[in-house]
Structure 1
């Protein structure tokens, strides 16, 4: 294995660890705002690490740019979704709590 392959593996494995941490936070935290925090922070960082690992294995610049665009779009979408859910919980909707 080359140094690039090892770095890609390490970055991807670290990303998976953050995904697992976000999932555990979602399952264990007591309220919707804490769960949102766990998901948005940990999952965005986890995706970033996985994307960086995939970028190291990409064939060319176009593939790297596509991966970066996907990462940016997911960050924006998760921020909008988290904001929408947080506002819904503040307005008193109880169907979002277990």
Structure 2
């Protein structure tokens, strides 16, 4: 039964990594490619590390496998965010089917600064009060 579980984890992990590779080739823009590769590949590696921990059944190997899982869980979202943000800042074209770009009104391309949603709301509230009451 353990062999069946290990085999299933390895096959599903490999299929998820294959799905990430196909997504990298087939998806239309940087943000969707990044999303597919980050989610699918991270889950694929996690499943394979679980299979490794089950196969060797030693404390040192299991500890290393779980350390790798924790590392992947902590770093994959951060790396995806940084890559997506850098791609947006350098002007990577969005897919033609993109419906909404919420960063555009808050992004200054000259300074590469983003205004937070709170700053935008505060500025909208201040504008009527700051105007001359003529």
TM-score, normalised to structure 2, is 0.63
**CA deviation profile, 1:12-50 (whole Å, cap 9, x unmatched):** 011000000011001100010000110111011111111
4+ aligned runs moved over 4 Å, structure 1: none
Deviates more, 1:16-25 or 1:50-59: 50-59
Residue 16 (structure 1) aligns with: 14
Cα RMSD between the aligned structures?
1.4
Give the drift of 1:52.
1.2
Secondary structure of residue in 1 paired with 2:68? helix
Return 5+ residue gaps in structure 1 as ranges: none
Between structure 1 and structure 2, the one with the greater Rg is 2
Q: Which has the higher helix share?
A: 1
Matches within 5 A, 1:19-98: 19-94=17-92
Query: Larger RCO: Structure 1 or Structure 2 (Cα < 8 Å, ≥ 6 residues apart)?
Result: 1
TM-score, normalised to structure 1, is 0.84
Aligned length: 92
Give the drift of 1:59.
3.4
Alpha-carbon distance in 1 for matches of 2:47, 2:72:
13
Return 5+ residue gaps in structure 2 as ranges: 93-134
